[in-house]
A and B are shown apart, each in its own frame.
Chain A
Amino acid sequence: MEEKSVVIRNLVKKFGNFTAVDNISFEVSKGEIFGFLGANGAGKTTAMRILCGLSRPTSGEGTVAGFRIKDQQESIKRHIGYMSQKFSLYPDLKVWENIELFGGIYGLNDRQIAAKTDSMLKALSMENARDMYIRDMPLGWKQKLAFSIAMVHDPEIVFLDEPTGGVDPVTRRNFWEMIYEAAGRDVTVFVTTHYMDEAEYCDRVSVMVDGRIEALGSPAELKETYGAKDMDGVFTKIAGRAERGE
């Protein structure tokens, strides 16, 4: 049997009488690039927060990186990487200081941090930017660096929450090359996006509507099922059924 990075069964999350996530189930294999699509307000973020160990499910169960989402949040956090749409490194810290900080947070020792810093900057061709403040960097660089830092502790799975928001097409392409490269190293990539061309790059995608997963499959399968020529068409058809507003 194939190794699973994420296994989710009947996950429900309620806030009061509002059901944000309504009984979803899915699996993500190790090394897979899994696109998590849905309009704003469909429940993506809520589901993702549960998977990252930031929030507890109301009911249902599952595992992330082999740890239960109900009671092993601490272990989950140790084995995942996370990068958010809101660009999030410390702008008033230098590049190496950000790497050092997050390396430290994830329990790396000084030698590991030093080695990581060198290899990371080399891979990003940013050797000269070591002492640069993050606030002075172009957005594309920041994005790539944030992705690398999210994987500073070699996590088994990395969650990317709209990682390419507001980035130009060339940089987005570069960024996806990094994602492929990570998946090639057997890192599971769990990514949300609003760009449907990016959805095409995923191994499989799920589309959430009103808290439920309405469609799940490879881009080719979904296009065939919904009779659309691209993912944009698929998404419009499925998300068009939404009853919930934003």
Chain B
Amino acid sequence: MKEIFAFIRKEFKHIFRDRRTTLIVLIMPIVQIVLFGFAISTDVHNAVVDIVGDASDPAVQRIIQRIDSNEYLEVGNIYASPAAIDDRLRKGKISAAVCFEQNFDSNLAAGSTAVVRIIADGADPNTAQTVTSYIKGVIQSEQAEITTAMTGGGSVSMRPNVQLMYNPAMNSAYNFVPGVMGLVLMLICSMMTAVSIVREKEQGTLELVLVSPVKPFWIILSKIVPYMVLSIVNFVTTLLLAHFVMGVPVNGSLALLSLVSLVFVGSSLGLGLLVSVISATQQTAMLICGMGLTMPTMMLSGLIFPCESMPMWLQVFSDIIPAKWFIIMVKKIMIQGAGFTSIVKEFCVLLGMMVALLWFSIKKFKTRL
């Protein structure tokens, strides 16, 4: 046992004596969480909406009031003509403009149609989509009220009342945080483990260790343990950041979340070992981890693009990415507050992946020695 501790201590020294490694291991997760959480936010907060139309028109006034009282929208200037709108949009002063035709109220009252136009900045489709749908919602609710008033209470129109469960504000941190946690844990476990083993191959120190009486299994274990410890540290820091800075809730059981993460860390370590077996130089290991693990994880795990909107063959491919299952489970546990029964399938898949990866890579690792 003493041999193992000597080894593990040495591994930590490698990590903390190399500034680059320390930086990657301890700072990168924080930077990523903050970047994804704040900078790459798709949230719409207080989108400014200009109004074009007759401000004395009663129907227009009612809608302006509704927009103003919407918590995500804010009324900017009110213009009589749309001439200024283009300039306001270009300068980024507003996210959208709502234009009412002349005599809006009387047109409505006459029972004919009144025209309202929403202009939004299509250069940023995500924001435009969100803002226009908020505005549409406001106008629809006004319309429903008018209809009710005019038909004397007997409203017959059907109006969908959309309620977003778990993430009512459509806070993008809810989506990104589980994804970034997956990404960070995978990077630390796979890339750092692979690189640290391949570095020893390059240095020739691995050979020296192998001719020692220490069993190969212990050598592998001593390589894995430090990165596992660091992953736990990272898991805790990202979770703390997510909860206290981004306001992402932890609705489910913390123990379950930790268990799921541990299984994911295990499968990532397996991947890292596998990479270390097939690569001869640190550059190769980095490249394989970057292109072969990180890219697919970012693109296909549902972190950026939803898996459901991928073509069928890509969906099948995304199924073999451990991070996908991890992210699904983290979302369920953290945000929906789901218990173990609702993640049994995903958990079994990930557990299976971990066992298979670890078994295969340890076997491979031993035969390569």
Contacts and interface: CB of A to CB of B under 8 A. Distances in A.
Contact of A104 (B3, B207, B215): B3
Interface stretch (A74-82, A193-201, A225-233): A74-82
A73 B361 CA distance: 23
A101 interface: yes
A228 B2 CA distance: 53
29 contacts: A54-B211, A54-B369, A80-B211, A83-B208, A86-B203, A88-B203, A88-B205, A89-B205, A89-B208, A90-B10, A91-B203, A92-B14, A92-B17, A92-B18, A93-B10, A93-B13, A97-B10, A97-B13, A101-B6, A102-B212, A104-B3, A105-B3, A105-B209, A105-B212, A105-B213, A107-B2, A107-B3, A109-B2, A159-B211
B204 interface: yes
A88 B210 CA distance: 12
Interface in A50-81: 52-54, 74, 77-78, 80
Interface string B5-17: 1110010011001
A117 interface: no
A82 B17 contact: no
A106 interface: yes
Q: Tell me whether chain B's interface is mostly helix, strand or loop, or mixed.
A: helix
The 3 closest A-B pairs by CB, nearest first: A104-B6, A86-B204, A88-B204
B84 interface: no
**Most chain A C-beta atoms within 10 Å of own C-beta, residue among B2, B204, B211:** B211
B207 A88 contact: yes
B211 A74 contact: no
A161 B212 CA distance: 15
A93 B204 CA distance: 15
A52 B211 contact: yes
Contacts of B369: 54
A176 interface: no
Contacts of A74: 213, 215
B40 interface: no
B210 A105 contact: no
Contacts of A156: none
B240 interface: no
B211 A82 contact: yes
Contacts of A52: 211
Interface in B321-348: none
Nearest to A105: B212
A87 interface: yes
